[in-house]
Each structure stands twice: as structure tokens, then as C-alpha cells.
Structure 1
Amino acid sequence: MSRTSNRTNGDVIRDFLSVADLLEEPQLAQLYAYLAREEEATVQELMDALNLAQGTAYTYVNRLVDAGVIEATTDTQPRIYVARNIDLTVTAADGAREYTITPVLIDAVGRRATNDDIDTYIDRHGIAGLATALTYAVDRERGEVTHRLMAEDLDISPLAAEMILQALRPVVHEHFDIEVSGASIADIEGVDRDVVGDDA
């Protein structure tokens, strides 16, 4: 595991554990992704946008503040919260797979709670597999790859490739201005197409 900025080992471990919570709990990922997209929000705005009960919203906000991935920008009520940028590069235990956890990937993970195709893909291929699929989804929206090419590269069925590409399409369009300037692999730093060790 490495971190793109110079931090002490304790900070890196804390950052990793904080991000691990986001990747394990789609509701937390949704809240973080909303703040990352909208730039700031109050708890009431989070409740309205994400259809959360008041107690749940405060619990999630407090957990993410404690984890250090969001912070309050005001001391007065209502407090306004912002997301801290996450850019954490992770190497899998086998050492062969590496990917970067960014707000875009966290947004995709957060959608597993409401999108069965993303949920199934993560169950079968893990977060590293989803990171790779996200890279292909960006390239697909730019007209550079097809679902068949993705399927061949990753040794999965064309149907599975098409389903995950369709499921990730809203994420890509939410975070990248494809029609005006396009997006590149560099826009999803560290997401490596060689992450293919997952079972089909």
C-alpha cells in the first residue's frame, strides 16, 4: 500500500482504515460521494438528497468526520460539511494488482446499494475489478473500446461486460465531461488495466 502524498505511516494506516469503511458500507460511500460532487452540504441537505432519517444522517456524518474523510467548515449551526480528497493507491495481497481509490471509485461502490449489477460485479471481481471496469467505462464512453474488447481483455462474458459498463455509465458522466474534453486513464490515476486476476 502506498500513499501519493508524504505522510507518516500512522496517517497512511488511518487513511486506509477510513477508506476501507467507505468501501465496505455503500451508504457511507454514497454520503461521501454526494459531498465530493456537491462540494458542501448541511446534514439537512444530506437527509433530503439521500433520503436519510435524521438519526441515520447524523450517525453517518459523525462516523465520516471521526474517520477524517469529511470535515465541518463552520462551527455555527447548521454546520456545513465538505469531503476531503481521497487518493490512496492500494496493492493487493498477491502484489500483482494495484489500483487507486478516488472519489469516482467510491461513488461507484456507493451505488452498489441501489444497483444490482454493480453489487454483483463487486461480489465476483472485488473492488479492484470494479476499478478496472471503471477504466473501461470511461474509454467506452469516449468510443475507444467496446464491451467485447473488455470481455476479451478481462476474460469475462460479453454480457457481464455490457452490464457493468451500462451500470457505470452514470458514474462516468457524473464525474467526467466526456463530450467536451473527454477523459483519459490518467483521470482515474493508478487504475491499472492489468487488474485481471479476478474470476469471471
Structure 2
Amino acid sequence: MAPDRNRDRVRPDGGIDTLDPPPIDVVDEETLEPETLAQNAPRLETIVELLNRPALARVYVYICYWGPVAPPEVMDALDVSKSTTYEYVDRLVDLGLVERDDSTRPQQLTADPIVIVEQYVPIVITPTVLHALALQEIDEDVEYFVDRYGLGKLIAALRGAGLHFAGNTTQRMVASDIDVRETEAMMIIYALKPALVVGREHDPFFEYLFPDVHDEMDLPDPDTVENAPTRSSDTDG
């Protein structure tokens, strides 16, 4: 049975975790048992690999948002070489993030959205976050910010950007909240706009990041935003 993408999390091993809502007591003796931690390790390792390989995350997000797609469409849409595209697709298949249907020509790729919700850190990882991370492959401002401040602060900046476009905070307030210079806050807020624009439309877990303002952001159409990928017109591969 297909998961309800508004409520469920698809794990890399194919299982489904219900996410409505996360339990308060998510950390207990059972969850801390070595056997349980070992069983959950592959999921964590998968997320860590995506976080550490923005180019790989970029391919995953495209397939997740616009699948089923053929590899040539991924190549064209992301301007990636054929060999690199197939290398990344093979790795995503190995990680259990992408399914490849070889019964059709060209083969079709699909990917279920993943979400990590940790209450006690706290941190939320969804395709929108992975998209924001992947932007450093094509946007020098995002690359600079990640190099200077790291991934954790990028996620904080993404949250701040969403609140800003919802009219809840100013650039100066975002700068203060995440402890960066005001010019850097302005830079990263607008650099992350593509992830917000596309994520609000395609990420079924977008509301997890912005439960209070997900439908209040003043964002343009994806077709008008630079670095906001859209479905390639060449859908025949």
C-alpha cells in the first residue's frame, strides 16, 4: 500500500513510520538499546551521506519532486554529465532512496520523500532542507554560508527565511537570531528562496519546517525564480 505522504515516513529499508504526530516520549530505554540503535544506523548513515554530498542530494531532490523521471531528464534539468548522473542514481538506489524501474525504456526513477524529526535536538530534515543544502552546488552565496557557518546554521537560516517571507521577522532579526552579520542574513535569505518556492509546492513535509507559516509566505511562481528547478520539458528521455 502506498504511504500517505501527509502522515508517513518512508524509511530507506522500505518500511513506513507514521508521523502523526511524533510521540513525546520518543527517547526511552528501548530506543537506546544497542540493538535498536544498530538497526536504525543505516537510516542515519543515509541522511549523513546526503548532508555531506550536496550534489547527490540535488539529484535525489529532483527525482523526489518530479519522478517518475528518466535519467536523461535529470541530466538535462540539472546540467550533469551522463556518467555522473548514472553514478549518483546507482548510489541513491543502493541507499534505498530511489527506485529504478527497468521494465520501461527509458528506465523510470522515483523517490519517496524522507523526513527526520528529532524533538530533543531539535532538528527537522525534509526534502526542502536537502534542497537548501544542494543549492551550494550552483549558488556561491549558499556555498560561502555553509563553508563559514556549517549545515546546522544553514537549516536555521532556512527557517528564518521562511519566517521572513511570511512577514513575521526582518532581515535584522534573522541575523540576530542565527548570529550572523546582517548583510549575510540578507544574502542567505534570498539565496534560499528557491528551496522555499519549490518545497512549498512539492515537499509533503514542508509543514513540519513551518507549522505556523507554511501557507503565509509571500513567494513567487517557481518559473520566475533563478535556481528553482522545474520539470524538464523533455519528459521522454
Quick one: structure 1 residues 189 and 152, their matched pair in 2 at CA, closer, same or farther if it must change by over 3 Å?
Answer: closer
2:114 aligned with 1:86: yes
Give me the identity figure in percent: 29
Aligned CA distance change for structure 1 residues 189 and 89 (closer, same or farther; 3 Å): farther
Secondary structure of the residue aligned to 2:198 is helix
- Let me know the Cα RMSD of the aligned residues: 2.7
C-alpha contact (below 8 Å) 1:100/1:189 kept by paired residues: no
1:43-192 map, 5 Å: 43-89=71-117, 97-176=121-200, 186-188=207-209
For 1:58 and 1:109, the matched residues in 2 are separated by: 21
Q: CA deviation at 1:186?
A: 4.1
Distance 1:74 1:139 in 2: 43
- Could you tell me which of 56, 66, 75 is aligned with 1:28? 56
Runs of 4+ aligned residues of structure 1 deviating over 3 Å after TM superposition are 6-11
Distance in 2 between the 1:145 and 1:40 partners?
38
Shift of 1:74: 4.9
- Helix, strand or coil at the partner of 2:161: helix
The residue aligned with 1:198 is none
TM-score, normalised on structure 1? 0.78
Q: In the TM superposition, what whole-angstrom CA distance separates every residue of 1:128-155 from its partner, at most 9, and x where no partner exists?
A: 1111111111111111111101112222
Q: Tell me if the contact between 2:159 and 2:210 (Cα under 8 Å) persists in the aligned partners.
A: no
**Residue deviations 1:19-68 (CA, integer Å, cap 9, x gap):** 22211112111101111221321111111111222211111100000011
In 1, Cα distance between equivalents of 2:58 and 2:125? 15
**What is the TM-score when the length of structure 2 is the normalising length?**
0.67
- Helix, strand or coil: the match of 1:89? strand
Long gaps (5+) in structure 1: 178-184, 191-200
Q: Which moved more, 1:74-83 or 1:14-23?
A: 74-83
State the structure with more CA Rg: 2
Q: How many residue pairs align between the two structures?
A: 178
